[in-house]
Amino acid sequence: MSSVPDRSDIDEGYKWDLESIYATDDEWEAAYDAAGDRIEDLAAYEGQATDDAETLLEVLERRDQLMREISKIASYARMRSDEDTTDQEYQALSARAQSLAADAQSAASFLEPEIQSLTREEFEAMLEDEPALETYGHYVDDVLRMKPHTRSAEVEALLADLSEVTGATGEVYNMLSNADMTFPTVEDADGEGVEITQSNFVNLLKRPDRDFRNRVYEAYFDEWESMRNTVATAYKNSVKADVKLAQARNYDTAREAALDGPNVPVEVYDTLVDTVNDNLDTLHQYAELKREALDVDELRMWDLYMPLAGDEGPDISYDEAVDHVVEAVAPLGEEYQSRVAEGFDSRWVDVYENTGKRSGAYSGGTYDTQPFILMNYQDDVSSMYTLAHELGHSMHSELTTDEQPYIYSNYEIFVAEVASTVNEALLTHHLLETVDDDLFRKHVLNEFLERVRSTLFRQTLFAEFEHRAHELEEGGEALTADRLDELYRGLKADYYEPAVIDDRIAREWMRIPHFYRAFYVYQYSTGIAAALAIVDDIVGDGTVDADAAADYRTFLRQGSREYPLELLRIAGVDMSTSDPIDRALSTYGDRLDELETLL
């Protein structure tokens, strides 16, 4: 019977080096106490921030230093908790860190309303008195831009104090899905019991035994069904919080509020959804090809993840994946490539699944630490691509830290997903250029098609779902489990028209943690569209365009120094149009035809 190992059974070389942040928990405690004292120091500036240029600079620098320290404190605690979500000690540390961060945000909440008391002309005069304020020029511009949606200092402090409460549903969902929920063990064709987990569910749906896939699929979603009312209540209240907070900030809709933060027009969202819907025939072609390749009368939901090559793909060990990824990023320049290799040697990555470990993958770390990547590596092509994806985020952070002050280090997700999917696209290009084995090539093409399907198509479906769910709440309609199932099932039927849509897939919305960060997922879709355009510019004609690669590296170094659409224009992409999306969908169609020929 297969099982998930305990963390103690995994070699240290395959675990991230959190001791590089704090050598001991006692060091963490000392940093926690010191940050608490600094919160009081910052709060003392309330009512004085804009008295003169020198004071404004001082309070901005003190705020940034405090937030840098707290980000380290919170990051360490969260990653320790993610190593084993059942560990009560680190759950407590993470909760304390979140409370500390909320206290700091509350203490600093006076600052932006006070800045908004200035006119642009008054700030320009301050720049003349204190040239060092130039560092904060774009930040102040952004703060003044948000003036119509910023409340009084008293209300801002209240909203900051409530941040833990308004975000609680996501935390409840995370603990439910990662710590409390357990999934059945299903027997394979040899009679061996296989434990279903959040991390291996999709991987199990790639096994060639169709009856086994069916049993896994049913057992997994039946477990979600047992949590149906709990999850529906959590999501309903998450949506309600989004709507109420948007109203508190004078927005007409929650979507408008979410997109206005990074200054992305809602038309970008609508253009994405409309363009993808206009091209669903390509996705339908993919589904029909999969039905034919699997030689089945009806394509069922438990067939969707099966490779189009028709059998299991090659095993890719973690060390082999590292070699492929390092070679794949060579077009981005020698310095970029060498830093990637150094990162693997410096234990950026927590590689393997262990009992209680948070599912999925992410790139973490802070301005003052090395990057950290959480993985649940499964020795397959998909995990190799996930590694490349998260490494893109980490290298974006590294290059931004090199170039930008702390205030511009937290780049928007809209541009972050470009960096991750550029690495995926470069990996595809590298493998197709260097691998001769037809079976391997089929699986590379399959992985590319699946990545685009699950990113450009699937995430756009998710974007439609959460937009409509929020519209229902804003329109006064109750978000019951039945209504959410109905909404999701209808979208699934539109997107996967040739396949059979069953009752269990209508519950799939329950397993998507990103829904608790509203209007986040559409950026995966815009990100992959931009990434495919950038990679086409760099290596599209078969040779490396050094200028295009340099433009892309310049983009990575900007952090949040400009607004997202302007940043992407540095890299040669205009996301205010449908052009990058059309190019991505065209590339998808070409690769689909290529694989169909190979098959």
Active site residues: 390
Category of 491 on φ-ψ map: left (φ > 0), alpha (ψ -120 to 50) or beta? alpha
Strands 372-377 and 349-352: parallel
Listed residue (477, 484, 49) closest to 232, CA to CA: 484
92: number of Cβ within 10 Å: 12
Task: Report the residue count for the chain.
Answer: 599
Could you give the 3-state DSSP secondary structure of residue 376? strand
- The DSSP code sequence of 305-354 is TS-TTSS------HHHHHHHHHHHTGGG-HHHHHHHHHHHHTT-EEEE--
Enumerate the H helices of 369-518 as residue ranges: 381-403, 413-434, 438-452, 458-474, 481-495
Amino acid identity of residue 260, one-letter, is: D
Q: Phi then psi for 482, rounded to 5 degrees?
A: -65, -40
CA distances from 279 to 269, 406, 455, 501, 586 (A): 16, 41, 15, 20, 10
**Neighbour tally for 573: CB within 10 Å:** 26
Is residue 347 left, alpha or beta, with left meaning phi > 0 and alpha meaning psi from -120 to 50? left
As a whole number of angstroms, the distance between CA 173 and CA 179 comes to 10
CA 428 to the chain's CA centroid: 20
The H-or-E segment that residue 569 falls in is: helix 564-570
**b/e for 514-533, b at 16 or more Cβ within 10 A?**
ebbebbbbbbbbbbbbbbbb
Three-state secondary-structure class, residue 36: helix
Count of helix runs (H) and strand runs (E) in the chain: 26, 5
The CB density around residue 505, as the number of other CB atoms within 10 Å, is 22
Ramachandran class of 103: left when φ > 0, alpha when ψ lies in -120 to 50, beta otherwise: alpha
Which two three-digit tokens encode residue 95? 């909760």
Look up residue 511 and give its DSSP letter: G
